């Protein structure tokens, strides 16, 4: 199977390295200079260190050339660029199935990526989402990883998962596109909250509470949109949430840690070097939750820190001072 991976950031490159161990893979990036550097070094030092590319991995900066013989397209461009890349895929005439691995809600519309793709590609063009607990460096290193591929077409979900499954990577199939999408997007919001808590030295008890109640928020939000409860208890829900809220490689947790130390959001974003999807996702989730009437106190406090200048300490105090109630989802 010829697979084209769109987006040569850390995650896109790591997925391309994994897939090229079993398939011919083309890794596309829009920046021709970056592609030339990767071709020369056979690595992506800018985003993924010195992990060496397999021989079956080809580099390309021309999108039409990258899509020409694709049997499967894996889009790993940032959420902000997802709609535009879908339009370019459509304009190219390529009818290959599209799986996306970016996580978030679209800026300004609060739409999840399955809603965006439904608006931009023909209904008959197969599509799915790949998500779950996975740091790019560990995947590239060949460490054990388990993730989920969801599609409303159960047969495609199984076939696409089987094509990507292998080696140290285990891929489960699902038909709950909404649940997998929500889990992948909202865990980044909760990771910012966990980073704030850790950065202020509130300890392991507080982190565990944030993760658990964060999962409750994610579940309420996702089920209001039609997601399934079992998805939020699985890899794309609890699994991804735990990893992102505790792992040192989490960009969104890093944002929270640095906010707690007194850095401004602009300073953090400028120096981070990678996209932290949770920053934009928080605003969109906040707006969508109000529209749905879903209670999301952690999201509200993170939004106030990011967008309204609320101090991290005040945000945590507000959460602690909420009225006592029975625990429920």
Point out the residues that are catalytic: 187
Q: In this structure, what token pair is assigned to residue 168?
A: 């140290």
Cα Dmax for the chain: 60
Q: Left (φ > 0), alpha (ψ -120 to 50) or beta: where does 321 sit?
A: alpha
Q: In this structure, what token pair is assigned to residue 218?
A: 């994610």
**Dihedral angle over CA of 32, 53, 75, 289, nearest 10:** -110
Query: For residues 79 and 99, is the Cβ–Cβ distance under 8 A?
Result: no
């Amino acid at each position: 199977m010829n697979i084209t991976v769109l987006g040569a950031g850390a995650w896109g490159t790591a997925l391309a390295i994994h897939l090229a161990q079993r398939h011919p893979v083309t890794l596309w990036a829009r920046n021709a200079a970056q592609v030339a550097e990767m071709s020369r070094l056979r690595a992506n030092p800018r985003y993924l260190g010195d992990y060496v590319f397999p021989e079956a991995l080809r580099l390309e900066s021309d999108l039409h050339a990258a899509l020409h013989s694709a049997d499967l397209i894996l889009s790993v461009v940032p959420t902000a660029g997802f709609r535009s890349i879908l339009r370019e895929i459509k304009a190219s005439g390529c009818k290959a199935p599209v799986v996306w691995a970016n996580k978030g809600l679209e800026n300004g519309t609060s739409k999840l990526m399955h809603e965006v793709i439904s608006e931009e590609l023909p209904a008959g063009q197969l599509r799915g989402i790949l998500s779950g607990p996975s740091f790019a460096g560990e995947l590239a290193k060949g460490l054990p990883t388990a993730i989920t591929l969801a599609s409303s077409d159960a047969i495609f979900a199984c076939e696409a998962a089987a094509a990507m499954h292998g080696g140290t990577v285990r891929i489960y199939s699902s038909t709950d596109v909404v649940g997998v999408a929500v889990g992948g997007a909202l865990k980044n919001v909760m990771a910012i909250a966990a980073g704030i808590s850790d950065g202020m030295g509130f300890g392991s008890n507080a982190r565990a509470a944030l993760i658990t109640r964060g999962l409750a928020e994610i579940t309420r939000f996702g089920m209001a949109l039609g997601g399934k409860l079992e998805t939020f208890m699985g890899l794309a829900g609890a699994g991804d949430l735990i990893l992102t809220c505790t792992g040192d490689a989490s960009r969104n947790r890093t944002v929270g840690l640095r906010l707690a130390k007194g850095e401004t959001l602009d300073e953090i974003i400028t120096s981070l070097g990678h996209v932290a999807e949770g920053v934009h996702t928080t605003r969109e989730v906040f707006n969508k939750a109000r529209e749905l009437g879903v209670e999301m106190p952690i999201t509200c406090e993170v939004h106030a820190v990011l967008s309204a200048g609320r101090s991290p300490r005040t945000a945590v105090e507000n959460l602690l001072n909420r009225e006592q109630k029975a625990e429920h989802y």
